[in-house]
Chain A
């Protein structure tokens, strides 16, 4: 049985569309792997306890806190970080643009969690109620905005996505 024990795990992840092979040491978080081994520092390190949401990434189509996920437990994974949100032509996606328009960014530290949470919320609830927005963003802390501009940004993003739906997919 001891032959099951290894000192590192070679994982294969597609990150923002690009395939990577990484040697994951036991105990290392997905956050550290993304920032230090892949150099994608847009994913922010905050509390490392799961409270703040600044380290949010999308893992196999669902948002997760990368500090709470151990890299070695993901032998194969599809990951999207904040660097992967922009459109192919380099412009902001509609949710990012709505956050920009409505002052949803101030210092930007919470942006990974706020943007990815907003995108998951709007995928499930294209016309979210205030309560759904509160629940959808609940996993993220923001020290700048007082949250009002974030709620406005999500509503603006919903309108943008409604306007463009039916014209261009995605």
Chain B
């Protein structure tokens, strides 16, 4: 660490990438600051170099082409809540962004990129994006790479935050009639959920033809509950189906978190509860436009 850190504000993605590639470490990327400033303020993080990516135009803007919504990493939660393209094509993302903690002050400044790079198991955006099959575009040492968000979240060498830059998030537009719900169970009025679930569902003549379900805030990684929803395919959403889903989910939580948001055993049980509630709400919404 250095007593006198340095600072750079590159004005293009190429310049930022070249700068990062030439540094030997000790650098940190900053944009909104919502994730790292608490660590800086309390001395838990003492970077030698700050790279401010807030001026990179390549990381801004929301657009749609060929059924894919492209969202710049610098998009703040407030824009996700109010953007017309997100509201129409990705309503679950808009809803999840509105459920994030920290209040309006944080929604006004916290970026999508920072939220994802934090890889925080209690955060709200990732479960929704995973349930929607999002991909991400990264730049490292001048090379652009596209990968699924799911794969990225299981990589330990992604380098995001110090070597690689998350540029955009690419999300397939939700098909018309898709049911969706983001369910967040909170023990208190605080920011974090004790368990959360993001679900999408397609119905045909009252029977489930496709479904996705992600469960967050119960383990150190977000859990893809595909194994639990498999049994729903071809079925109608009945009380028995709901109970079956609720009972299948806790077993997917192999190593539950045990923290201020609740004990491990309880979190496992709540994984089933939020899964059931999210799927029920998604089914209720399916087919409506």
Chain A interfacial positions (CB closer than 8 Å to B): 1-2, 4-9, 25-27, 29, 48-51, 53, 56, 59, 62-65, 67-70, 72-73, 75, 113, 117, 120-121, 135-140
Closest chain A residue to B40, Cβ basis: A27
Q: Are B109 and A64 in contact (CB under 8 A)?
A: yes
With A4-B19, A62-B78, A75-B9 known as contacts, the answer to whether A69 contacts B109 (CB < 8 A) is: yes
Known: A53-B103, A73-B31. 18 other contacts (CB 8 A): A1-B15, A8-B7, A9-B7, A9-B9, A26-B6, A27-B47, A49-B38, A50-B38, A63-B104, A65-B105, A67-B41, A68-B37, A68-B105, A69-B32, A70-B50, A73-B30, A73-B33, A135-B104
Q: Are A68 and B109 in contact (CB under 8 A)?
A: yes
Chain B interfacial positions (CB closer than 8 Å to A): 4-10, 15, 18-19, 22, 30-34, 37-38, 40-42, 47, 49-50, 52, 54, 78, 101-106, 108-109, 189, 191
Chain B nearest CB from A121 CB (Å) reads 8
Closest chain B residue to A69, Cβ basis: B33
Chain B nearest CB from A131 CB (Å) reads 12
Q: Are B34 and A68 in contact (CB under 8 A)?
A: yes
Assembled-state Cα–Cα distance A90/B20 (Å): 50
Q: Are B50 and A72 in contact (CB under 8 A)?
A: yes
Q: Are A49 and B105 in contact (CB under 8 A)?
A: no
Q: Are A120 and B106 in contact (CB under 8 A)?
A: no
With A53-B103, A63-B104, A68-B34 known as contacts, the answer to whether A1 contacts B19 (CB < 8 A) is: yes
**A-B pairs with lowest CB-CB distance, top 4:** A139-B103, A26-B7, A48-B41, A4-B8
Q: Are B38 and A117 in contact (CB under 8 A)?
A: no
With A117-B103, A139-B103 known as contacts, the answer to whether A69 contacts B37 (CB < 8 A) is: yes
Q: Are B42 and A48 in contact (CB under 8 A)?
A: yes
Assembled-state Cα–Cα distance A94/B203 (Å): 52
Closest chain A residue to B4, Cβ basis: A7
Chain B nearest CB from A48 CB (Å) reads 4
Assembled-state Cα–Cα distance A49/B43 (Å): 12
Assembled-state Cα–Cα distance A70/B39 (Å): 12
Q: Are B7 and A6 in contact (CB under 8 A)?
A: yes
Assembled-state Cα–Cα distance A50/B247 (Å): 37
Assembled-state Cα–Cα distance A1/B12 (Å): 12
Assembled-state Cα–Cα distance A75/B5 (Å): 18
Chain A nearest CB from B189 CB (Å) reads 8
B5 touches which of A27, A48, A68, A139 (Cβ 8 Å)? A27
A67 touches which of B31, B37, B47, B78 (Cβ 8 Å)? B37
Q: Are B5 and A64 in contact (CB under 8 A)?
A: no
Which residue, A26, A49, A56, A139, has most C-beta atoms of chain B within 10 A? Answer: A26
Q: Are A27 and B50 in contact (CB under 8 A)?
A: yes
Query: Please, could you name 26 A-B residue pairs with CB atoms under 8 Å apart, sorted by A?
Result: A1-B18, A1-B22, A4-B19, A7-B6, A26-B4, A26-B49, A29-B40, A29-B41, A50-B37, A51-B102, A51-B191, A56-B105, A59-B109, A64-B105, A65-B102, A68-B32, A68-B33, A68-B105, A68-B106, A70-B40, A72-B50, A73-B9, A73-B54, A138-B101, A139-B105, A139-B106
Assembled-state Cα–Cα distance A154/B9 (Å): 40
Assembled-state Cα–Cα distance A48/B103 (Å): 15
A75: B residues at CB distance < 8 A:
9
Chain B nearest CB from A37 CB (Å) reads 16
Q: Are B104 and A138 in contact (CB under 8 A)?
A: yes
